[in-house]
Amino acid sequence: MELTQLRMRNRLRFFTALLPLMALCLFLPACIEKQPVRGLAVNAILSDRALTDDLVTGLKVKYITTAAFRPFDKDYRVVALASWRDKILFRETLDPETPPVKWQAGRVYEVEKYLYFPEVIDPFNRRMSSGIKIEFKIVLENGSGSESVRLFSREIKLLPRPADSPDVVFLEGWERLIRPAEASARPRSEYWTTERAVCLLKNTGRPALLMIKGRNYADRVTVSLYLDEGLLEEFQLGPGEFRKIYPVGPFPLTTDPEIYLTIAVDKTITLNEIYPDCQENSRVGVRVDRVYFR
């Protein structure tokens, strides 16, 4: 009888000691995520803590390989994606100087890039006025069209653009064109530079980011950017989309309450060369979709 009771006590002690371990095993899968690529960790940091739509922000990414990492057998590229309701907000390549196919174990590869979160929040929509949740992820892709490998994923709260964000005023040297859109959308308004187009930027007195985003339709055009009277950059563009981002300032408020941005081109083409259905024959340089200064 005493032997039976002793055995029962030992079993009770065993199961009592096992319970915390069983609970821990049930809990672990919820907080530990398996790395999709063995021996590779990804650390991504965005410059702005409060993220809004219509925002240019910096991104720093570190790809850390351990001794367990094995070099890739495919020529992958690294891509950052942001999406909301199955709509892609942006898609940016994040390849460091050393391409992924040449990565080795025990290394750290870094890349820095500016990202632009486009304007997607309708401030007059009550459901969106407090912000939206978007998915931000970093993936590996290859040219074969196979499914991508997710390296990093995070849900981001995107707030509406601050009401006091400085506006950009289009002054002289611009051609505004109203273009028809799809049946379900409103006609779109396009801004084109002439040989020399000027914008007025409100100086906040703080360091800022300047972005010029648009499209060139000429074979080759030289673009010169000026802030006030100083040359910011001169570059050449082939046909296609372009985006230029510059950290600028701060500018003293006492002497520069307003800043003039000038976009000059060395050649122009007519609007009806670009759009054959267009009756306008004005000569234009490049189309500017967004001038951002914040």
Residue 61 maps to which CATH number?
2.60.40.1930
Residue/partner pairs of 112-115 with CB below 8 Å, 24 or more apart: 112/58, 112/59, 112/60, 112/61, 113/58, 113/59, 113/61, 113/80, 114/56, 114/57, 114/58, 114/59, 114/209, 114/211, 114/245, 115/46, 115/56, 115/57, 115/58, 115/59, 115/80, 115/82, 115/90
Give the pTM. 0.82
Residue 179 counted as domain residue: yes
Q: Are 203 and 147 members of one domain? A: no
61-72 pLDDT, tens digit per residue, is 999 999 999 999
Same domain, 124 and 177: no
The amino acid sitting at 6 is L
Domain count along the chain: 2
Q: Give residue 105's domain range.
A: 40-159
Residues in the chain, pLDDT under 70: 1-35, 144-146, 182-186
210 and 107 share one domain: no
Report the alpha-carbon distance of residue 210 to residue 56 in Å, rounded.
9
pLDDT given at position 146 = 62
Per the domain annotation, does 3 fall within a domain? no
Q: Is residue 14 part of a domain?
A: no
Residue 283 lies in a domain: yes
Q: Please check whether residues 139 and 60 belong to one and the same domain.
A: yes
Query: So what's the pLDDT on residue 123?
Result: 81
Q: Are residues 130 and 233 in the same domain?
A: no
197 and 282 both lie in a single domain: yes
Please check whether residue 17 lies inside any domain of the structure.
Answer: no
In a domain, 269, yes or no: yes
